[in-house]
Amino acid sequence: MATMRSPIHIELPTPFMVGPVNTFLLKQDEPVLIDCGLNLPMTHDALTAGLAQHDLQVSDIKHIVITHAHVDHMGAANWICERSDAEVWVSDLVYDWAIDITEMWEDRVGFMSEIVAKTGLSAEDQQNVLSYFRSVPELWDSVPSERLRKFSLDDVLEMGGGQWQVLHLPGHATHQTGFWNAENGWLFSADCLLPRTPVPVIEFDQDVPTQRSLGLPLHLKSLERLAALPVNCVFPGHGEPFGDHRGVIASQIGRIQRRKEQCFDHVAAGVDTLPALTDKMYGHYPSAGRFTGLSTIVGYLDLLRAENRVVENEVDGVWHYSLQA
């Protein structure tokens, strides 16, 4: 068997606070992309230029493998399909998002409208958050069914001259998957394991769509799963590839636990709403990024509630937090 060639890192720009998103090119056997960025001209240009550095064009791409259904990771999939014979591989959990983003996003905006109202944000801040969510479909096209191929959450994918075990890694997203090549100890970690701790995005539960997913508790379980694997190099959804995955995981879990305790101390001092907690813990964030901080605080509170240390009560339609009696 031929020696596998290392994935090629290509950065694609985004307009978001997170910065660039990664696509990884596997050239061996046939050209494959892991994720593909937003459907924006600047993304198209960066991808075209990145492929050209390796003597490829967009039309050469044969497969696009999607880690999760977030716009910065799969928004450009149909743009690539329109310019190639590429097939888009998605997990069972991502398929509905790939084939009909309009319907799925309408459901997501409806769900987020209910959630945002309960956060206690001002009417202006609520509108700003929902305006962002309503704008996302402009950066994302559905993929025709004949160009889609589903894989299961325990599948093994053949690509790049080797076998990659599918890993379900909920937390940042309920439908997130990573891919692990045991032969080389290579891991496509998506947004589960990044150089910096990812945000547990507020989403509806996959099994009970009327309920909110417990993103941060799920994320910690996914990190524990990754820590048990022998990994030599992590190829993340954002940032540079890196090694010492167990050290990075330990550091990030430690920070989550410290920030959780800071959140507890604020609740103990009588700071009882999400906007007030966000002011305390993420007051340094620019206004456009404050909802990211609020989402992370929701995760800390989920952990504290699971430990029976904090309770959540709805008062006049707004969540309030206090210590467990």
Model confidence over 91-110: pLDDT tens digits? Answer: 999 999 999 999 999 999 99
Rounded Cα distance between 172 and 316, Å, is: 29
pLDDT tens readout for residues 234-251: 999 999 999 999 999 999
**What's the CATH superfamily of 8-110+135-251?**
Ribonuclease Z/Hydroxyacylglutathione hydrolase-like (3.60.15.10)
Handedness of CA 73, 76, 80, 85 (dihedral sign): positive
Model pTM score = 0.96
Instruction: Name the DSSP letter for residue 189.
Output: E
Q: How many helices (H) and strands (E) does the chain have?
A: 10, 13
- Residue 56 three-state SS: coil
Handedness of CA 31, 34, 37, 39 (dihedral sign): positive
Please name the residue that has the structure tokens 């459901």.
107
Q: According to the model, what pLDDT value does residue 77 have?
A: 98
Lowest mean pLDDT among 173-177, 196-200, 228-232, 287-291: 287-291
Q: According to the model, what pLDDT value does residue 307 have?
A: 98
Strands of the sheet containing 87-91, edge to edge, are 8-12, 21-26, 32-34, 63-65, 87-91, 148-151
pLDDT tens readout for residues 240-291: 999 999 999 999 999 999 999 999 999 999 999 999 999 999 988 777 778 9
Q: According to the model, what pLDDT value does residue 113 have?
A: 95
- Residue 94 three-state SS: coil
Give how far Cα 267 sits from Cα of 151, 166, 303, 304, 322, Å: 43, 39, 13, 10, 6
173 exposure class (CB count in 10 Å sphere: 0-12, 13-18, 19+): buried
